[in-house]
Chain A
Amino acid sequence: KQEVTQIPAALSVPEGENLVLNCSFTDSAIYNLQWFRQDPGKGLTSLLLIQSSQREQTSGRLNASLDKSSGRSTLYIAASQPGDSATYLCAVSASNYQLIWGAGTKLIIKP
């Protein structure tokens, strides 16, 4: 059974720092991996999607990498801003629809 783990559970850093969030999964037979952002009282927003054949994806200040063989993904956030404060979740898919989620990393960027 696929299990997804995110470390750390919470992270607080000063504005401007670069930071890395980690996601690990137990079964390397995945279809894709996604990183989502969740703001309080709002839905989940997809940030980046990495297909199983890809090694990384970039969007603005965000870069996500995928190493299927080791069952790891990282989300790198450059030059963090207070508006980046949110919970970040990763989810893996073993099919074209069902997502298995980590518990998330709660990120606080201090001004």
Chain B
Amino acid sequence: EAGVAQSPRYKIIEKRQSVAFWCNPISGHATLYWYQQILGQGPKLLIQFQNNGVVDDSQLPKDRFSAERLKGVDSTLKIQPAKLEDSAVYLCASSLDPLTGAEAFFGQGTRLTVV
């Protein structure tokens, strides 16, 4: 079974530039998460999708971050404009149905460095 695919693996941009990350979840997983993991901290949930609808985006800085999941499969996360404090690993995860206790499967992440 193929895992969660993310690209790119690494990205370096200057502050105020824009960047986009892509995620392809495991086939059949309706739930998709985007997390931000700053060095030395636990993953922080940015947004959760159920199919193509948003379940929770309460911690997404909506003035600069946006995410979409068209057709309920692939998802993109965008930052525009980036700030220095956005430097982190951005993790995508997917799950069958969290309401049944199904675990989340994580991609390798995209390491973003903002200089």
The finding on whether chains A and B are genuine partners in a shared complex, rather than unrelated, reads no
Chain B residues in contact with chain A, CB under 8 A?
none
Chain A residues in contact with chain B, CB under 8 A?
none
